[in-house]
Structure 1
């Protein structure tokens, strides 16, 4: 595909991700995405045949971005707890948008489930990557695999719950406190 075609494809996926997140999957039209991306509506089907295909492309971006974040965390420090702290700090950099719109990944998992189940499953892999990374790093500090996995899930639940409440209350401090509790759980021994 040409460079211009790649740029259009990227613009379409970015527009779809923004609109799915802000408006929901069902309420977002192909025409609206085309307009937001600056692509003629008739050309949309050249890039994505269905809205479900577009949802899958958005989910792929979530997984790719999550993997990049994990790779960045792995390179940021040698000590496992520092790697997890790095990840939590990076996740916290998007607090404002999550207070405004909730979590884009959890919204995708929920919204895609009926009309685009493959995209829902794919978006959920972002959470699997985060939980697996945290569990691996925690395990290096001493806990058995089952304990490390339970603690990793607990950290992600704390973060996601913080996003949900912060969004509901439109209150950034809820999410900041939630991320702080997640980080404090790193102080717990093996």
Structure 2
């Protein structure tokens, strides 16, 4: 059972995660995090000396959630095509949040890549985790030599669809795009 200290730390990480998604890393202050986490200001400095340390904790938290989710999919979804389609379903299921703030992974990587390359390299682990998992699904479908390229194409299609849906505030575009991505995946599975 987590201690009170662990729970406080997690509340800070959860608040920062939400704010980094909504406002961006650069526009989020410790004061914002303290307010959302509802903790005394001194508490944040006890756990995190800098905002960069807090970001690293958020990245680790996101990676834990992602790895748990992907592991669950591997255990409960028998076919690689079905697992890939479940990945694509995340976009559709997250439409309101994506239209408001964009993809949390994509937005963070774009923001950090402009001025904070060393932090962007750490944030890229989020994409790397999905990329490797997707590549494994394509390998299981029979695309051993092309699995990395296909995984990058799937990520790019998803990120592009999210970006354009957000730019034009068009949830229908995101829905149509996810259907198109699934048709592409089904075609690949059919000809593997």
Give the alignment's TM-score, normalised by structure 1.
0.90
Could you say which residue in structure 2 is the equivalent of 1:51?
Answer: 51
Partners of 2:91 and 2:162 within 8 A in 1? no
Q: Which residue of 2 aligns with 1:169?
A: 168
CA contact (8 A) 1:135 1:148 kept: yes
CA 1:98–1:121: 2 relative to 1, 3 Å: same
2:118 is aligned to 117
**Residue 153 of structure 1: aligned partner:** 152
In the alignment, what sits opposite 1:130? 130
Task: Give structure 2 stretches of 5+ with no counterpart.
Answer: none
Q: Match of 1:30?
A: 30
- CA shift, 1:29, in A, is 1.0
Number of residue equivalences: 188
Quote how far apart the aligned CAs of 1:85 are: 1.6
Higher relative contact order (CA 8 A, sep 6+): 2
CA distance in 2, matches of 1:79, 1:44: 44
**For residue 9 of structure 2, what is the aligned residue in structure 1?**
9
| Aligned alpha-carbon RMSD (Å) | 1.9
Say which SS state the counterpart of residue 134 (structure 2) adopts: helix
Structure 1 unpaired stretches of 5+? none
1:102, 1:167 within 8 Å by CA — same for their partners in 2? yes
Matched residue SS, 1:62: helix
Q: Deviations over 1:30-49 (max 9, x none)?
A: 11211111111122110111
Shift of 1:15: 1.0
Q: Partners in 2 of 1:79 and 1:21 — Cα distance? A: 32
